[in-house]
Chains A and B, each alone.
Chain A
Amino acid sequence: MRNKLLDRLGPLFVVLAVTILRYLFPNKISFFTEIAIYTIYVMGNNMLYGYMGLVSFGQPFYLGVGGYATALFLAYVGHNPLIALLLGIVSGLLLGLVLGPSFIRLKSSYFALINAALCAIGVFIFERLLIDITRGNDGLWFRSNMTKLPILDIRLPQNFFIFVVIVLFLALFVYRHIDRSALGTMFRSMQNNEEKLRFIGFDTFKVKWVGFTLAACFSTFAGSLYAINFGFVNPSLGENSRAVEVIVATLLGGSGTVYGPFFGAFAFLGIKDIVSRWITRWELVVGILTIIVLFRFSKGIWGTLKEYLLRAQRRM
């Protein structure tokens, strides 16, 4: 009973932790805002890799599409950031529905590579092909076009933090619900043995398609939030050189878990933030840490922490 209650309150604990830290370190507001957004981004990759065992080297593409969907709307069409965010999710839905059927037929390494190729194509589209509307590397600025929301003016960083924390809570709530549902069990069993899932009577193609689409939606939504946070987008948001980052964050946090993405985002951005003050190539430290985590704590931060907590609980 107590465990169930704690489990249900998990999303609340996460947002409380972020909120408390933000007030403990008031000059780090942009860092904590980014952690909340990056968590949603990692959640998308975690759904693919952690749950279904599909490695994608193209997640920045989805992030970029979400960012540009929001930015283009706010720059040329409307002013309401909520509609712009909704467009970000819709862009993920469309990507999932259109690309899904062909991508999910591919086996693991091909799936990873086709996504990497897509990422390169995406950068070309954002940077060159649509330069007249995306303004290429100069970026697309739109902050002044945004109107404030009825209750909250999310153009202000402190208010946007509150907004993002509420969004993170909802995202975690939905994610937790998926994890505990039959769909979540199907995703996890897919990684275990897809063929056996078909023996039971599941159309694994549809299950994968749903997972792929959900993952795309989480990623594009994170892209939309990034766009609104910065007030502009440029092609670097979708660069494939950043594709490994989200995989590392997923591994660090603990793949295939609900709260792993939060810990992964926190650890990854935290290390990047601290180490980059002293070393230009901060990736070196992240790389070494990833190797240590993979060999010593293969379940990631949350997976290992959860194990210790369960052991302590059994002793009590």
Chain B
Amino acid sequence: MTERDRKTLLQVEHIDVSYDKLKVIFDVSLSIDEGEVVVLVGRNGAGKTTLFRTIAGFLKTDNGAVRYKEEEINQYKAFEVAQKGIRYIHQDKHVFSTLTVRENLELGSHANRNTEWGPVFEYFPKIETLLDRRAGNLSGGERQMLLIARALLGKPYLILMDEPTEGLAPHIITDLTKSFKKINETTTLFIIEQNLPLTSQIANRVYCMREGRIVAEIGSVEEIKKISFEKYL
């Protein structure tokens, strides 16, 4: 897909978000185009996860709008947002631990009425070998693969990943990075990442967040490769 063909998939327009009376997101605007890998960086407490939870429908905005495919989705509940094609992978790598890997995938299949697991196994062949294992017994990397695999069922348009590589061994991060590139051939990715060298490898665009505000947007590949956005954190 060329840059010119890209359409805007997600648009966040001047949103404020609060936890009760405590405002944590201030006038945030951003946009994600189809086929991009956009990375959101920022220190702990900058409001990155809150922003993701708002897009995913878990939190409501005080002001502003979240548009997905030009439709305002603020009013939708989380499961309705997921059904529209936005999947959110939480940072805690929480799988349904008492269920098997197969059952975890079946849940994804059932929610999205998609029983084609083949393409998912192409991204993560290891998952196919673990189908009968209890998900609670998987390693951190395997759990992350399962979460992404489950999110991919139903062919979502956009996946929000909250720190997918946190706590993983370097060789697993390398494998996951390769998978992200493959997944990005068909799916748009919006990722929160603290690992700046990794960000520089995968991102088309980077948003920097600080104290609940977007403080910079870096779209130049050269700038991203040089990790020049570090100064905004």
Contacts and interface: CB of A to CB of B under 8 A. Distances in A.
B87 A199 contact: yes
B107 A182 contact: yes
A193 B96 contact: yes
Interface residues of B, number: 26
Contacts of A201: 79, 82-83, 111-112, 154
B210 interface: no
Contact of B96 (A182, A196, A198, A204): A196
B150 interface: yes
B82 A199 contact: yes
A241 interface: no
Interface in B70-123: 77-79, 82-83, 87-90, 94, 96-99, 103, 106-108, 110-112
A173 B77 CA distance: 35
B88 to A, nearest CB: 5
A182 B94 contact: no
A198 B108 CA distance: 11
A200 B85 CA distance: 10
A204 B99 contact: no
B89 to A, nearest CB: 8
B56 interface: yes
Interface in B57-74: 58
A193 B107 contact: no
B106 A182 contact: yes
Contacts of B150: 200
B88 A199 contact: yes
A145 interface: no
B110 A192 contact: no
A189 interface: yes
A202 B111 contact: yes
A182 B112 CA distance: 12
Given A193-B96, A200-B82, A185 B106 contact: yes
Given A182-B107, A186-B107, A196-B90, A202 B79 contact: yes
Interface string A185-217: 110110111011111111110000000000000
Contacts of A186: 107, 110
Contact of A189 (B56, B82, B99, B151): B99
A21 to B, nearest CB: 32
Given A202-B79, A204-B79, A197 B99 contact: no
Nearest to A185: B103
A182 B110 contact: yes
Contact of A188 (B94, B99, B151, B154): B99
Nearest to B150: A200
Nearest to A204: B79
Nearest to B108: A200
A189 B83 CA distance: 18
A193 B154 CA distance: 21
Contacts of B103: 185, 188-189
A117 B56 CA distance: 37
A83 to B, nearest CB: 36
Residue among A198, A203, A204 having the largest count of chain B Cβ atoms under 10 Å: A198
Given A198-B82, A201-B154, A192 B96 contact: yes
Contacts of A191: 98
A203 B79 contact: yes
B164 to A, nearest CB: 14
B90 A192 contact: no
B99 A185 contact: yes
A203 B111 CA distance: 9
Nearest to B136: A192
Nearest to B83: A201
Given A182-B110, A186-B107, A199 B90 contact: yes
A167 to B, nearest CB: 29
Contacts of B96: 188-189, 192-193, 196
Nearest to A206: B79
Contact of B79 (A188, A192, A198): A198
A154 B97 CA distance: 46
A200 B106 CA distance: 11
Contacts of B87: 199-200
A199 B99 contact: no
A199 B89 CA distance: 8
Interface of B: 56, 58, 77-79, 82-83, 87-90, 94, 96-99, 103, 106-108, 110-112, 150-151, 154
Closest 9 pairs (CB-CB, A-B): A201-B82, A201-B111, A182-B110, A189-B96, A198-B78, A192-B96, A200-B111, A201-B83, A198-B79
Given A185-B106, A200-B79, A201-B112, 13 more contacts: A185-B99, A185-B103, A186-B107, A188-B98, A192-B97, A192-B98, A197-B107, A199-B87, A199-B88, A200-B112, A200-B150, A201-B154, A204-B79
6 contacts: A188-B103, A189-B96, A192-B96, A195-B58, A195-B78, A201-B82
